[in-house]
Amino acid sequence: MADTAANRPATIHQVASLAGVSHTTVSRYLQDKDSLKPKTRIKVEYAVKALDYRPNLVARSMRTRHTNRLAIVLASGAHFPGRLLAAASRTAHEAGYQVEIVSVEGGSQERSARIDELARSGQVEGILALSPISLKGKRSNRVPIVVSGSYDDKLHGLAELADATEIRDIVEYLVSLGHRTFLHVAGAQNFASARNRKSVYLETIEELGLRSVGAVDGDWSAQSGFDAITSLPDDCGVTAVVAANDVVAMGVIRGALSRGWSVPGDLSVFGWDDEEIGRFATPSLSTVAVDREAQGRAAIHRLVAEIRGEPIPEPAIRTINRLIFRESTAPPPAGAPS
Amino acid sequence: MADTAANRPATIHQVASLAGVSHTTVSRYLQDKDSLKPKTRIKVEYAVKALDYRPNLVARSMRTRHTNRLAIVLASGAHFPGRLLAAASRTAHEAGYQVEIVSVEGGSQERSARIDELARSGQVEGILALSPISLKGKRSNRVPIVVSGSYDDKLHGLAELADATEIRDIVEYLVSLGHRTFLHVAGAQNFASARNRKSVYLETIEELGLRSVGAVDGDWSAQSGFDAITSLPDDCGVTAVVAANDVVAMGVIRGALSRGWSVPGDLSVFGWDDEEIGRFATPSLSTVAVDREAQGRAAIHRLVAEIRGEPIPEPAIRTINRLIFRESTAPPPAGAPS
DNA sequence: GGATAAAAAGTGATCGATCCACTTCTGAGC
DNA sequence: GCTCAGAAGTGGATCGATCACTTTTTATCC
């Protein structure tokens, strides 16, 4: 009906003139409906509805100098942390921000370049990086960047310690079953979570006086787990594997079967992430249930605090990762050295 | 050095005055570096570098009325189509668009509302929906919306027919092994891909004169596959299951084992998606390798064409889905009726 | 009823880019 | 020297909001 020649969306001025008020009044209405006299409010309300008016967010952003948008950056190709993102998204929403997920291809430096570009384009107010990035010295960034703790090491304390603790718990559990000789198939070493788990694994092995036949650097893939097992010498004596995550664990199990080792009869395998398939695989996977929702919430809270210049919240409620014991772990075979 | 009092990013005017040219010239430089005389270009180039100038994209968008941004919408809980997104992202980039992935919670109507909001906020120029949405009559949307064919039914021909064909191929393959009695565990029925597969399954059963003990509606989860199998009567005689995807197939297998049926000895199971874990599961999954990259590219091409008012590209190169035969399928047990 | 304060509404500038309609400068070719 | 075309400058207008002020209206109190 009231379309302009160009068929453009209605502007605040059109609303104002239809309502018989000034554009300022409409603007006030948009920000706080109660600051208007009831009679005026009704007029504006009517005009907004009649013209099907939606404020142009680009114009608003330009004037207010903030976009109310956050970006979450992750490496394309890497596993997609769906639950974390959902929680992060919801948390950001509650804080008044829109979230946009940017999947960046290429290596670490390419990603960093893209993040830098994003940071300075004026399009987002903060960035949460879920993939490892290398921000070299030159960063005079305009917006806060939070690198999630469970994926890199800038976010001390958020989830790192938790990661560490559980690896130790896993090893201790396996020891309690009788295992003495271990293997760790680590994740990609540019991820801090992978580095942390690996170093805690090594520490624990040393402190408890156990034997490790290696801590193999993988890339989070099932293939890397498979390769790690199939390339072991026959007489290595390993009876328990701590895998970087559930997918790697699946590869480890398949590799073990391919050499005639039964799981868990000859080899126990522990995963990480509690993915759906782990519960239904055969054998089902012992794993670590990670509170991804809490991680997502915490990361966004931290980011929002940085944006607003508020004190950074302490990760008071430590994320609680729960060990889940299923079929892939059992006591070692009788013949194993102890 | 040249920071303003407010420490704001440099504007085009500051660049112009440092370079000793007009702001118009700088603007020209930004759009086409070659339209400037070399001497002028160098001056501008220097000023841009010295001030570390980045054009304010918000201001630019406001004036040009386009944002060069696309949104890909997906349901927050659903499985994340990583490969498709990566390809879509890259393709969009090549066409000059930034991609933002919006993960929307809630049901179909909530999602549609969010998409509508997105469509009219003036923030994106096109939307690719990967989750089922119900755009009711009232859509007078400002921007094109493409709903991916493999996930819903607006995008005729992109992948629907392909979907259909492969289900038939699967059944025919199983028949060639000797199977006569089938079960289909379908995906969530608000997904067109799930509906298509189901109807092609039913058609094929009928046309080939086979027996189906049911086409159970699931929700893409392993649990739904597990439940479908465990709730079958003992004497149903089923020897082959066509699952909605690999995760469902895992659940089916686990369910079969839980009732003492061996896979593939007593029951053959076919999956869909060729996910990494399927290759390493035990038994490894027979499945359909889907060309997600091609789907992502095609969807973006179509969306960009709609945005630019160009003719919609025909899905000329049909996405080729390849059947992969692994351990989860074999001839039926000797005792099965034929 | 009039003074006064508070609330409501209006006016015009502003954000940082592009676009427009000109004018002016520069240099090559004849 | 003249013409002509391309490059560059000039000075605004424009996009659609918000915001700092100013002005008008309303409410309150004596």
Angstrom distance (rounded) from CA A103 to CA A111: 9
Is residue A108 exposed (0-12), middle (13-18) or buried (19+ Cβ within 10 Å)?
Answer: middle
Chain A residue numbers touching B280 (CB-CB < 8 A): 222, 225-226, 250-251, 253-254
Chain A residue numbers touching B254 (CB-CB < 8 A): 280-282, 284
If you count them, how many residues does chain A have? Answer: 338
Convert the pLDDT of each residue in A151-167 to its tens digit.
444 443 444 445 578 89
Interchain proximity A102–B103, CB inside 8 Å: no
Strands B126-129 and B69-75: parallel
> What local confidence, expressed as pLDDT, does residue B225 receive?
98
Strand C neighbours (CB under 7 Å) are A 16, 20-25, 28, 35-37, 39-40, 62-63, 65; B 8-9, 11-13, 23-24, 26-27, 30-31, 55-56, 59-60, 62-64
> What local confidence, expressed as pLDDT, does residue B114 receive?
81
Please, where are the H alpha helices in chain B? Answer: 12-19, 23-31, 38-51, 57-64, 82-94, 108-120, 160-177, 192-207, 222-230, 246-258, 276-280, 292-308
Region of poorest pLDDT, from A193-197, B70-74, B139-143: B139-143
Is residue B154 exposed (0-12), middle (13-18) or buried (19+ Cβ within 10 Å)?
Answer: middle
> What local confidence, expressed as pLDDT, does residue B230 receive?
97
Assigned token pair, A336: 């194993």
Q: Could you write out the DSSP letters of every residue in B223-274?
A: HHHHHHHHTS-TT----EEEESSHHHHHHHHHHHHHTT--TTTT-EEE-SS-
CB B330 within 8 A of CB B270: no
Rounded to the nearest integer, the mean pLDDT of chain B is 85
Please, where are the H alpha helices in chain A? Answer: 12-19, 23-31, 38-51, 57-64, 82-94, 108-120, 160-177, 192-207, 222-230, 246-258, 276-280, 292-308
In the predicted model, what is the mean pLDDT of residues B199-207?
95
Strands B240-243 and B268-270: parallel
Dihedral over Cα of A29, A34, A36, A42: its sign: positive
Under DSSP, is residue A43 helix (H, G, I), strand (E, B) or coil?
helix
Chain A residue numbers touching B67 (CB-CB < 8 A): 58
Interchain proximity A123–B62, CB inside 8 Å: no
Question: Torsions phi, psi of A97, nearest 5?
Answer: -115, 145
Interchain proximity B82–A79, CB inside 8 Å: yes
* Residue A226 CA, distance from chain mean position: 25
Residue B160: is its pLDDT beyond 60?
no
**Strand C: which positions are within 7 A of a protein CB?**
7-12, 14-21
Angstrom distance (rounded) from CA A241 to CA A172: 13
Q: Could you write out the DSSP letters of every residue in B163-202?
A: HHHHHHHHHHHHHHHT--EEEEEE--TTSHHHHHHHHHHH
Angstrom distance (rounded) from CA A32 to CA B134: 32
Residue listed under structure tokens 């997609």: A80
Assigned token pair, B225: 């596959």
Residues whose CB falls within 8 Å of the CB of residue B278, separated by 6 or more in sequence, listed in order: B246, B249, B250, B271, B284, B285, B287, B326
Taking the C1' atom of every nucleotide in all shown strands and the CA of B122, the nearest one is: D16
Is residue B37 exposed (0-12), middle (13-18) or buried (19+ Cβ within 10 Å)?
Answer: exposed
CB B194 within 8 A of CB B200: no
Residues whose CB falls within 8 Å of the CB of residue A17, separated by 6 or more in sequence, listed in order: none
For residues B15-31, one letter each, b for 16 or more C-beta atoms within 10 angstroms of the residue's C-beta and e for the rest, the string is: bbebbebeeebbebbee
- Residue of B280, B282, B300 to mutate, testing the A interface (most A Cβ within 10 Å of its Cβ): B280
Dihedral in degrees, nearest 10, Cα atoms B12, B17, B18, B22: 70
* Residue B109 CA, distance from chain mean position: 20
Count of CB contacts below 8 A, A vs B?
A: 133
CB A150 within 8 A of CB A295: yes
Convert the pLDDT of each residue in A221-271 to its tens digit.
999 999 999 999 999 999 999 999 999 999 999 999 999 999 999 999 999
Return the DSSP state at B285.
P
Return the closest-CA partner of residue A56 out of A20, A5, A15: A15
- Residue of B79, B253, B277, B328 to mutate, testing the A interface (most A Cβ within 10 Å of its Cβ): B277
Surface of B (178-217) touching A: CB under 8 A: none
Angstrom distance (rounded) from CA A274 to CA A262: 22
> What local confidence, expressed as pLDDT, does residue A163 receive?
59
Provide the β-strand partners of residue A289: A322
Rounded to a whole number of angstroms, the distance from the CA of A206 to the nearest CA of chain B is 32
Chain B residue numbers touching A281 (CB-CB < 8 A): 250, 254, 277, 281-282
Interchain proximity A250–B58, CB inside 8 Å: no
Angstrom distance (rounded) from CA B56 to CA A62: 9
Dihedral over Cα of A105, A107, A110, A112: its sign: positive
Question: In which residue ranges of chain A is pLDDT below 70?
Answer: 1-6, 77-78, 134-142, 148-163, 314-319, 337-338
Rounded to a whole number of angstroms, the distance from the CA of B113 to the nearest CA of chain A is 14
Question: Torsions phi, psi of B125, nearest 5?
Answer: -100, -10
Angstrom distance (rounded) from CA B249 to CA B265: 16
Residue listed under structure tokens 């097992």: A229
Residue B162: is its pLDDT beyond 60?
no
In the predicted model, what is the mean pLDDT of residues B282-297?
91
Interchain proximity B253–A100, CB inside 8 Å: no
Interchain proximity A85–B102, CB inside 8 Å: no
> What local confidence, expressed as pLDDT, does residue A19 receive?
94
In angstroms, the CA of B37 and the C1' of C29 are apart by: 20
Residue B64: is its pLDDT beyond 60?
yes
Convert the pLDDT of each residue in B227-275 to its tens digit.
999 999 999 999 999 999 999 999 999 999 999 999 999 999 999 999 9
In the predicted model, what is the mean pLDDT of residues B149-176?
67
In the predicted model, what is the mean pLDDT of residues B290-296?
85
Q: Which amino acid is at B303?
A: L
Dihedral over Cα of B156, B159, B163, B164: its sign: positive
If you count them, how many residues does chain B have? Answer: 338
Chain A contact present for B28, CB below 8 A = no
Pick A105's closest partner by Cβ from B90, B101, B284: B90
Assigned token pair, A286: 């012992």
Interchain proximity B77–A82, CB inside 8 Å: yes
In angstroms, the CA of B24 and the C1' of C11 are apart by: 30
> What local confidence, expressed as pLDDT, does residue B134 receive?
67
